[in-house]
Structure 1
C-alpha cells in the first residue's frame, strides 16, 4: 500500500518551546509518504523552529489572517494545505512514532471515512494516564451521549475535500473556539464514518497551560452555542441533560450562581443522574469549590 501525502497543521501562540517539540514529533514520524508541516502563527511573531528537516518532509510558517483563535488558525492551515489528508496537532501536544502510518492504513480499510482519530496519553506533569476511546467506529448517537474525551483533536486526520465541502471548515463563530473539535466530530458523524485506532498515538499535555484552562464563562458560552447549533441533542433526554450539566458547572464556576442553578435544575429534570449538575449545586451552596473538584478529577487524568 502506498502512503498518501499528509499535511500537518500546528496552530501556535507564543509557545516556541512547546511548538518546537510538536513539530519535531511530526518530522520524526515513521511514515513512508511525504509530510507537509504548516505552523500557523496566531497573533504572534512567525518564527519557525530551527530543526532538521528529513527528506520527504517540508516545513512552512503562515500567519493567521482569519478570525483570531484556534478555529481561524486551523482553517488557515487547512485552506493552505497541499494534500488531501490533513492532520491536526496542538502546539502543546506531541505525536508518537507510527501514528500517521496506522491512520493511513485505517483510511485504506475504510474508504468512506471522513475522519480517523486515535486514543491518547494524558500528561499532567506528575503522571501519565492512558485514555482509550472504547470503540473503533464512532457514530452520531454515541457522540450525542458522550464526548468520548479519549478522542482528542491532536489525533485527528481529516479529508481536506470534506473540510472544503460538505463537512465544512472549523466553526469560527464558536465562542473562543472552545468545543470546535466536538462540533467537528458531530458534523463528521452526521456526514460519514469516523474511525478510531484505539491505541494511544498522541501525548496530550494537561498542566494548566491550555488557553481554555479555567475560562468557565467561555466554556458555558460555547456549550450553549453547541446546544443551539445541534438540535438533535434534544431528541435524547440523557444527552441534553449531560450538556446542560456541563453548562451548569461552568456557570457557577464563573460566579454566575443563579444562571448555573437554573441550568442544573434543567439538567436534572432531563436526566437525574447527571453528577456535574449536582456538583454545580454543591458549589453554588459553597459546600465545595471548583478548584477542589477539578483537582480530584485531574488526578485521574480526566477533565471537567
Structure 2
C-alpha cells in the first residue's frame, strides 16, 4: 500500500471545506517535531498558540527519540496542546507524518522547533487560501535570524508552478511557513518522504509533489522568523547529503529539463564533495554545473573550496550572513 493510500486509510477524514466568509474559520493543526531543544520549543509553541486567529488551533508536539515532556505553555481559549511520541522513522519526516496522521484540523501546518511564527501569520494565510481555493498550500515570507542579524526575505507575490521549484528551491517557502489543506495532503500529495537519506531536503521534495497538485501561493510579507545557526544539523554530513541529492534527482527526473535547476543540484554536489576532501570530484561536478548555468554561484564556491585556499566553514558562514544557504 502506498503512503498516500495508507494515510487515507489511517485518517478516515471527510473532504476539507474551503473557507469562505459565510463559514466559521477553518480549524488548524500545527505539527512541531522536536528533539532536545526545550527552550526554543517553548517559544515556538507559545507563538503558535498566541496567533491572532479566531479559528480553533491545536499544536501537536511530536517528540523524536524521546518520551514526551509537557511544554509549559497555557493553551488558552479555542486552543489545544498535545504531546505525542514519534513512532515512525526517527527524524523530522517521521515526526511530521506522526503528527499529520493524528491531526484533527481542516488545515495542517508545520513549524520547526527553533522557528517562530509572527502573530498575524495564520490569519493572513487563511485569507489568501480563501482567495485561491485551487491552491493545495500557501506560504509566507520569512525573516532569517542569524547571529545578530535579521534578514527579511519576501515571498514571491505570484502563483508558483513546478518549473519555478525545479529552477529554484525558493527558500521563502520554508517548511515552517506552509499551510496545507489536510484532505489534499492525505489524498493527493501524500506524506513526507521518509526514505530520503538522512531526511535531507525532505521539505523540498514534498513541495515538488505538492506543486503537481496546483499552484502554490504565498503571503508576500515575512511572517515567520527562521533561526539559522552557525552549524546546522546537516553540516559536515557530506556523504549523506550526496546520497540525498542523487535520490532527489532519481525521484524527479524532470530536473534534466531545467538547466538552471540541474546546475544548482550539481553545484551542491560539488560543494559536498569538497567538504569530503574529494577535490577532483568537486571540480568535476562544479564544471558540469557551469556548463548548465555559468551564473550558478555555488559552483564557483565549490571550485574555491576545492583549492583549499578558503575553508568550507568560511564559505557557509558568508552565505548565511547574506540570508542564503549553500
Give me the TM-score of the superposition, normalised by structure 1. 0.96
Q: Residue 34 of structure 1 corresponds to which residue in structure 2?
A: 56
Distance 2:235 2:225 in 1: 18
CA contact (8 A) 2:156 2:218 kept: no
Deviation at 1:219, TM superposition (A): 2.5
Matching residue of 1:225: 247
1:275 alignment partner in structure 2: 297
Give the total of aligned pairs: 304
User: Is 2:176 the partner of 1:154?
Assistant: yes
Partner of 1:181: 203
Distance 2:236 2:160 in 1: 29
Q: Which residue of 2 aligns with 1:289?
A: 311
Q: Contact conserved, 1:241 with 1:268, CA < 8 A, in 2?
A: yes
By how many angstroms is 1:266 displaced?
2.0
Deviating more after overlay: 34-43 vs 294-303:
294-303
Inter-partner Cα distance in structure 2 for 1:298 and 1:226: 24
Give the drift of 1:194.
0.8
The 5 A counterparts of 1:84-233 are 84-208=106-230, 210-233=232-255
Give the C-alpha shift of residue 87 in structure 1: 0.5
Matches within 5 A, 1:9-24: 9-24=31-46
**Within 5 Å, which residues of 2 pair with 1:226-265?**
226-265=248-287
Matched-pair contact (CA < 8 Å) for 1:118–1:199: yes
Partner of 1:82: 104
Query: Is the counterpart of residue 43 in structure 1 residue 71 in structure 2?
Result: no
Q: Report the CA distance between 1:209 and its aligned residue.
A: 5.9
| Alignment match, 1:3 | 25
SS of aligned partner of 2:188: coil
Question: What CA RMSD, in Å, does the superposition of the two structures yield over aligned residues?
Answer: 1.4
**SS of aligned partner of 2:59:** strand
User: How far apart, in 2, do the equivalents of 1:204 and 1:27 lie?
Assistant: 18
Q: Is the 8 A contact 2:230 2:317 kept in 1?
A: no
Listed one character per residue, the Cα deviations across residues 64-118 of structure 1 (whole Å, up to 9, x for unaligned) are 0111100000000001101120010000001000111011111111111101100
Deviation of 1:258 (Å): 3.0
Q: Give the C-alpha shift of residue 251 in structure 1.
A: 1.7
Which residue pairs with 1:65 in the alignment?
A: 87
Higher mean C-alpha displacement, 85-94 vs 243-252: 243-252
TM-score by length of 2: 0.90
Q: Distance in 2 between matches of 1:282 and 1:50?
A: 47
- Between the aligned partners of 2:37 and 2:167, the Cα distance in structure 1 is 34
- Contact in 2 for aligned 1:163/1:169 (Cα 8 Å): yes
CA distance, structure 1, for counterparts of residue 300 and residue 233 of structure 2: 27
Please state how far the C-alpha of 1:293 moved relative to its aligned partner: 1.0
What is the Cα deviation at residue 146 of structure 1? 0.9
